[in-house]
C-alpha cells in the first residue's frame, strides 16, 4: 500500500461535507453530506464485491465472506463529524478498512476463514442528536430506541423525522443481538487525537483504554428583559450563571487532574439588546477514573447552584450520555502490539464505537500518528505515508485474525 494508493481513495471522499474556507467538515448524521458519504461507501464496497447491508440502526456493513458462526472480524469506524471538525476522525478507519481488504487480496489471500466486515456506525460524534456512538449504542442495546427516536437536533427535528426525511425508517431502531453475535472481534483504526505517537516518532500505536466520560446538559433560567432599561440590580441574568459554570468547570478540572469543557451553548432569545431568558450549556467531563468524573460533576453542580441563588436564576441539569471506562482486551492488545513490531500502547480520552462494542466482544484499536495533535478541528491531520502504514498494519491484523 503506497501513499499514492491511499491518497487516491482518500481524495474521492475528501470533498464531501467540507466547508469552503476553513477546510472543516460538517457531516451530521442523516444530512445531505451524510447520505453522500454513505453512497460513497456503498459504491466502494460494491466495487470490491463486498455484500452491503444497512441495519435497523442505520449502520452500514460491507461483508467479505459470510457465516453465522459468530466469529467475524469487523473493522471500521464512522463517517459523521463534529460541527466544523477535521476530516480524519472516523473516515480514516473506514477508508483503511476498504484498503486493507484490497491489500489482503493483493497479498494473495482468498475469502477469509473468519468473515471480514467493514462497518460504518451512525452518528459516532453525537454532533446532531447529542448522544455519541448513537449507532453502536442502539445496536448493543445501550440506548433505548424510544428515547433515541425522540432525540432532537438544533432545529427541533427528531431522529425519527430525520431518518424518514433521509428515506430511512426508524421502525427497527434498537438492540440487534443476532448481528452483534456475528462479531467475533472488532478492530477500529483511528487517527490519534493527541501527539503521543509524534513524540515517540512512531506511525502506528495500539489503544490500551478509554477514559470514562460523559455529557451533561445544564438549563439555566432567568428573566428576559430590556438591556437598556433594566437596572443591574434588578436582573436575573442566566448568562452570569453560565459564565460561572464555565469557570467552575475549568477550575474543578484543574484541581482534579481531569478534563472539563463547555463547548456548546444556546442562548435565548440571543439578542444583543436583551438580557437572556435562558441558557442551555453542555459540559463534557473526562478523567482516568470514574470517581474523579463523578466528583468533578458534583462539584460543578454544587457551585453553579450556589451561584444561581445569587443571580436569581434557576438551574436544572441532566446527564445526556455516560461512557464508562473501557479497558481493551489485554490479550488482543498485547498480541496486536507485538505483531506490529512492539507498537506503542496508549490510553485515550476520546470516545469511540470500539468502546461501546468492547463491553460485548473482544475489541482493539489502532491509532495513526497525527503530527498536529489536533482533533475535532480542521487542523486534524495525518500524512498519506502514515495512513498507508496504518492500512498495512490493519491488513496485518486482519490477516492474523481472519486466517487462523
Q: By the criterion CB under 5 A, which residues form the site for Mn ion? A: 89-90, 351-352
Q: Show the cell assigned to 346.
A: 496508549
Q: Does 212 bind ligand GLV (CB under 6 A)?
A: no
| Residue number closest to Mn ion, CB atom | 89
Q: Does 127 bind ligand GLV (CB under 6 A)?
A: no
Q: Does 132 bind ligand GLV (CB under 6 A)?
A: yes
Binding mask 328-357 for ligand GLV (x = CB under 6 A): ----------------------xx------
Nearer to ligand GLV by C-beta: 125 or 320? 125
Nearer to ligand GLV by C-beta: 78 or 307? 78
Contact between 124 and 90 under an 8 Å Cβ cutoff? The reply is: yes
Q: Show the cell assigned to 192.
A: 490519534
Nearer to ligand GLV by C-beta: 58 or 86? 86
Task: Tell me if 11 is assigned to a ligand binding site.
Answer: no
Question: Residue 185: in which H helix or E strand, if any?
Answer: strand 183-191
Question: Which one of Mn ion, ligand GLV, none is in contact with 80 (Cβ closer than 5 to 8 A by kind)?
Answer: none
In angstroms, give the least distance from the CB of 130 to ligand GLV: 11
Tell me the CA distances in angstroms from 189 to 97, 234, 240, 315, 360, one per residue in order: 8, 55, 42, 40, 18
Question: Which one of Mn ion, ligand GLV, none is in contact with 188 (Cβ closer than 5 to 8 A by kind)?
Answer: none
Q: Say which residue the cell 425519527 belongs to.
A: 160
**270 class by beta-carbon count within 10 Å (0-12 exposed, 13-18 middle, 19+ buried):** exposed
**Nearest CA-CA partner of 287 in 298, 274, 276, 272:** 298
For 298, other C-beta atoms within 10 Å of its C-beta total 11
Q: Does 85 bind ligand GLV (CB under 6 A)?
A: no
Question: Which one of Mn ion, ligand GLV, none is in contact with 38 (Cβ closer than 5 to 8 A by kind)?
Answer: none
Task: Tell me if 172 is assigned to a ligand binding site.
Answer: no
Rounded-to-integer distance, Cα 264 and Cα 273, Å = 22
Task: Tell me if 273 is assigned to a ligand binding site.
Answer: yes
DSSP string for 126-162 = -TTTS-TTHHHHHHHT-S-HHHHHH-B-TTS-BHHHH
Give the annotated binding-site residues for allantoate. 215, 273, 286
Residues engaged in binding ligand GLV (CB under 6 A): 125, 132, 350-351
Give the annotated binding-site residues for Zn(2+). 78, 89, 125, 190, 376
Give the annotated binding-site residues. 78, 89, 125, 190, 215, 273, 286, 376
Amino acid at each position: 500500500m503506497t501513499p499514492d494508493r491511499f491518497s487516491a481513495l482518500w481524495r474521492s471522499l475528501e470533498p464531501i461535507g467540507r466547508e469552503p474556507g476553513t477546510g472543516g467538515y460538517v457531516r451530521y448524521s442523516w444530512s445531505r453530506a451524510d447520505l453522500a458519504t454513505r453512497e460513497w461507501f456503498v459504491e466502494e464496497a460494491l466495487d470490491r464485491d463486498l455484500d452491503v447491508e444497512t441495519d435497523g440502526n442505520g449502520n452500514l456493513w460491507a461483508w467479505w465472506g459470510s457465516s453465522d458462526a459468530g466469529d467475524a472480524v469487523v473493522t471500521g469506524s464512522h463517517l459523521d463529524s463534529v460541527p466544523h471538525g477535521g476530516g480524519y476522525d472516523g473516515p480514516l478507519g473506514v477508508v483503511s478498512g476498504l484498503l486493507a481488504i484490497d491489500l489482503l487480496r493483493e497479498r494473495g489471500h482468498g475469502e477469509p476463514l473468519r468473515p471480514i466486515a467493514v462497518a460504518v456506525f451512525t452518528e459516532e460524534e453525537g454532533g446532531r442528536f447529542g448522544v455519541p456512538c448513537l449507532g453502536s449504542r442502539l445496536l448493543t442495546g445501550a440506548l433505548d430506541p424510544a428515547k433515541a427516536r425522540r432525540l432532537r437536533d438544533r432545529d427541533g427535528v427528531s431522529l425519527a423525522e430525520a431518518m424518514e426525511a433521509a428515506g430511512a425508517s426508524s421502525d427497527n431502531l434498537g438492540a440487534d443481538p443476532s448481528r452483534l453475535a456475528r462479531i467475533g472481534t472488532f478492530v477500529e483504526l483511528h487517527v490519534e487525537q493527541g501527539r503521543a505517537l509524534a513524540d515517540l516518532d512512531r506511525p502506528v500505536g495500539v489503544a490500551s483504554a478509554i477514559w470514562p466520560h460523559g455529557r451533561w446538559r445544564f438549563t439555566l433560567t432567568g428573566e428576559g428583559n430590556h438591556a437598556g432599561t433594566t437596572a443591574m440590580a434588578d436582573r436575573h441574568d442566566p448568562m452570569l450563571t453560565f459564565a460561572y459554570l464555565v469557570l467552575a468547570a475549568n477550575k474543578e478540572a484543574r484541581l482534579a487532574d481531569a478534563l472539563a469543557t463547555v463547548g456548546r451553548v444556546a442562548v435565548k432569545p440571543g439578542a444583543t439588546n436583551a438580557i437572556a431568558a435562558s441558557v442551555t450549556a453542555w459540559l463534557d467531563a473526562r478523567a482516568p477514573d470514574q470517581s474523579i468524573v463523578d466528583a468533578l460533576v458534583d462539584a460543578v453542580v454544587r457551585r453553579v447552584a450556589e451561584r444561581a441563588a445569587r443571580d436569581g436564576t434557576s438551574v436544572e441539569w441532566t446527564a445526556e450520555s455516560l461512557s464508562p471506562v473501557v479497558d481493551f482486551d489485554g490479550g488482543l492488545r498485547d498480541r496486536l502490539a507485538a505483531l506490529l513490531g512492539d507498537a506503542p500502547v496508549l490510553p485515550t480520552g476520546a470516545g469511540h464505537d470500539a468502546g461501546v462494542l468492547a463491553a460485548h466482544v473482544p475489541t482493539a484499536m489502532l491509532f495513526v500518528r497525527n503530527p498536529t495533535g489536533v482533533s475535532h478541528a480542521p487542523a486534524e491531520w495525518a500524512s498519506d505515508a502514515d495512513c498507508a502504514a496504518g492500512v498495512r498494519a490493519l491488513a496485518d491484523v486482519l490477516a492474523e485474525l481472519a486466517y487462523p
